[in-house]
Amino acid sequence: MPPSGCGICSRRPCVASLGAMKTQMAAAKQSVSGLSDKLTEHERIQKRTAKSIKQTGSKISGLSDKMALLSAPILAAATAGFKLHGDFANGIAKISTLVDTKVVSMQKVSDEIRASGTIFKEPLAWRA
C-alpha cells in the first residue's frame, strides 16, 4: 500500500494541511493580483490628473502673459495722462504768477484752456 502522507511522512493530516496551504496561496495570489490591478488603475488616474494640472498651469501662464501684454499699453496711457495733468497744473501755476488772481479766476482760465483743446477735436498737447 502506497504511503498516504505528504511523501516525507505517512500522515494524512500533512496532506490535508498541504491542500489548505495551496488553497490559501491561490487566494493570496488572486488578492495580490487584484491589488496590483487597483494600483495600476490608481497610477493611471494620477498620471491623468498630473497631465490635467500641467495643462491648467500652462493655460494660466498663457493668460498671465496675455494680461501683461494688455496691461502694458494701459499703464503707458495712464502714465502719459498723469504726466499731462502734472504739466497742465504746473503751467496753470506759472500763469497764476503772471496774472492778478483777484481779477482773473484761475479756474475759469483752466476751463477755457481745456475748452480750446476740444475745438480741434484733439488735445493741444498732441499737436506739438
Q: What is the pLDDT along the chain (128 residues), one digit of tens a residue?
A: 444 555 556 556 666 677 788 888 888 888 887 888 888 888 999 999 999 998 888 888 888 888 888 888 888 899 998 998 898 888 888 888 888 888 888 888 888 887 776 655 555 554 44
pTM over 0.75: no
Asked if residues 22 and 29 have their Cβ atoms less than 8 Å apart, the reply is: no
How far apart (Å, rounded) are the C-alpha atoms in residues 62 and 57?
Answer: 9
Asked if residues 90 and 96 have their Cβ atoms less than 8 Å apart, the reply is: no
C-alpha cell at 53: 494640472
How far apart (Å, rounded) are the C-alpha atoms in residues 113 and 116?
Answer: 5
Residue of 111, 68, 121 lying closest to 88 (CA atoms): 111
How far, in whole angstroms, is CA 4 from its chain's centroid? 73
